[in-house]
Amino acid sequence: MRKIKNIKARQILDSRGNPTVEVDVITNNNILGRASVPSGASKGENEAIELRDGNIEFLGNGVLKAVHNVNNIIAPELIGKSIMDQLYIDKLILNLDGTKNKRRLGSNAILGVSLAVTKAASKELNIPIYKYIGGIYAHLLPVPLINIINGGKHSDSSIVFQEFMIVPVGANTFFEAIQMGYKVYYKLKEILSKKGLSTNIGDEGGFSSNFNNIEDVLDNILESIHLSGYEPYDQIGIALDCAASEFYKKEKYNYSKFEKIQNNKEKIKKSRKEHVNYLSFLTKRYPIISIEDGMDQNDWDGWKLLTNELGKEIQLVGDDLFVTQVDKLNKGIKEKIANSILIKVNQVGTLTETIETISLAKKNKYNNIISHRSGDTEDSFIADLSVAFNIEQIKTGSVCRSERTSKYNQLLRIEELLGKNSYYSGLFLK
């Protein structure tokens, strides 16, 4: 029998230098499964609760309470249990917490254990994580949504939208997709340098420059695509993460918090209709194929407007809107809101719940996009998760910073391992 012999949690640091939880699960065969938990800066208000200490240490951001909960509450219940029964283990942990939003034990404590158990089980069977979770039909390599400009809460940039990404839909392999992204990223760096703009990078590896406005950002990205020798749309598209909940104030979309407005002719506080019209204008002018969190998480009327306007033309992704939770996604499906969902394991708390949300999205023909967080670690689990369920897209940052490239590197390894059985999903988005 393959059983859990010991569980040990500790506090480590994430990519922003903030504390986070790391968990070791050790089996009776001395197999180690280790998982670390990411953390977001821009968070949906309905995400599972990430437990923080709130004391003077680490400015209140310590996670020793969550570590204690793993070592003293969760571990004693799991020691001696079969490592192979993920569903049972996840349900046991959820019952120990007993709250809908994981506020008792903390989603960071719960998720660390859930993923570490999965990793230990795959090692016990000596098979890759993606095959252990997804089975023999796991073969699809996702299209990377490569972060190229950081704005919003992810940088000190003056731009209100949070992320601008390039999407190499025209690649033939994942290896080629990374090569294309690399070329455009460094061509953009060259362009920015020549214009005297900063090439410092934000939380997710994109450049954090002070552009004049959103169109200025998109013009520079489009220039970098052209100068790299690629065709917009056919080879490389653009994806936006507006993170609109961060600038929705008093039923207005306020562009003035970060963005510099030229000559005061542009209206800086837009109604939901004006905001939707602006997003529609951008999609007509630029090769935009995906918009994430285009509206505030509670502005369902706005989401209906946006979906009616663009839902048949491009990908509309709910992140803060759905927070990887079945009940939130069910509401979106019922009301025909958006057409895609961002999957973040720490928004919901266990692998089992994550899989349930992925399955619901697939059943209802909503696109899944596996995603990192802005405060991430070198743990590459989400790379395996994307392949396990043949998910067409992954969002894990830029082609620099090791906590971002660790996911890309793992996907390159998986593509090599799958060999002729691998398939790159770029054509899906064209």
Whether the CB-CB separation of 192 and 210 falls below 8 Å is answered with no
Name the burial class of residue 99, with classes exposed (0-12), middle (13-18) and buried (19+) by CB atoms within 10 angstroms of its CB: exposed
Rounded-to-integer distance, Cα 290 and Cα 274, Å: 19
Q: If you count DSSP H runs as helices and E runs as strands, how many of each does the chain have, helices first? A: 14, 16
Under a CB-based contact definition with an 8 Å cutoff, are residues 101 and 108 in contact?
no
Distance CA(26)–CA(5), nearest Å, equals 6
Binding site annotation covers 292? Answer: yes
Q: Which of 43, 183, 189, 344 is catalytic?
A: 344
Q: Residue 202: phi, psi to the nearest 5? A: -90, -165
Place of tokens 């990404």: 165
Q: Is 373 annotated as a binding residue?
A: yes
Q: What H or E segment, with its residue span, contains residue 178? A: helix 174-194
Asked if residue 162 belongs to a known ligand binding site, the reply is: yes
Residue 30 and residue 392 in contact, taking contact as beta carbons nearer than 8 Å: no
Please check whether residue 136 is in contact with residue 420, taking contact to mean a CB–CB distance below 8 angstroms.
Answer: no
Contact (CB, 8 A) for 271 and 323: no
Q: Is 82 exposed, middle or buried (0-12, 13-18, 19+ CB in 10 A)?
A: middle
Residues 163, 204, 246, 415: which is the catalytic one?
204
CB-CB contact of 230 with 167 (8 Å): no
Asked if 344 is an active-site residue, the reply is yes
204 catalytically annotated? yes
d(CA 127, CA 60): 40
Buried b (16+ CB within 10 A) or exposed e, 397-430: bbbbbebbbbbbebbbebbeebeeebebbbeebe
Which positions make up the binding site?
162, 241, 292, 319, 344, 373-374, 395
Annotated binding site for Mg(2+): 241, 292, 319
Binding residues for (2R)-2-phosphoglycerate: 162, 344, 373-374, 395
The catalytic residues are 204, 344
